[in-house]
A = this chain, B = another copy of it.
């Protein structure tokens, strides 16, 4: 589709793979978004809380376990302003909070609240079940492994970017 002309440098199979990748990602995100909405979360909020939850469980000290805004923005595919916005939303609903860094007064660390952890724990089973249903029940383990390594490489080459 869309001009399968060899001069353009991509053959039909490649184009098909590209479109399948984009469309699969889009549709998966859409299905996920619908399910997360039942728990009052957007996909980004969910990703954010999941990261913060992990950080909190791995923290050596209860007073730690947060993440810097910049770390989060780089880890998630989102601008810094978008992250600021969502963290504010999460603060309004009491699922996360801001703390100042001890060493650098410019920095802000985001941390999950107990309510946030509760929410994530409630949300996770349904989320995993949905991903399992739409992705892993349809794809063989070998295919999974291939995709994981191949897409990991793609992501690696795309990651160095920096955003506003």
Q: Is the CB of A124 within 8 A of B77?
A: no
Q: Is the CB of A147 within 8 A of B145?
A: no
CB of A115 within 8 Å of the partner chain: no
CB of A59 within 8 Å of the partner chain: no
Which secondary structure characterizes the binding site on chain A?
Answer: helix
Docked Cα-Cα span, A3 to B159, in Å, equals 24
Q: How many residues from A make CB contacts under 8 Å with B?
A: 58
Partner of A125 from the list B8, B14, B16, B144 (CB cut-off 8 Å) is: B8
* Nearest CB in chain B: distance from A76 CB, A: 9
* Nearest CB in chain B: distance from A50 CB, A: 4
Can you sample 7 A-B contacts with CB below 8 Å? A17-B148, A17-B151, A20-B151, A21-B24, A22-B28, A138-B157, A146-B147
Contact of A16 with B128 at beta-carbon distance under 8 Å, contacts A22-B29, A77-B27 already known? no
- Chain A 4-31 per-residue mask, 1 if CB under 8 angstroms from chain B, else 0: 0000111001101110111111111111
Partner of A124 from the list B8, B50, B51 (CB cut-off 8 Å) is: B8
Contact of A151 with B24 at beta-carbon distance under 8 Å, contacts A3-B124, A9-B132, A145-B13 already known? yes
Q: Is the CB of A128 within 8 A of B10?
A: yes
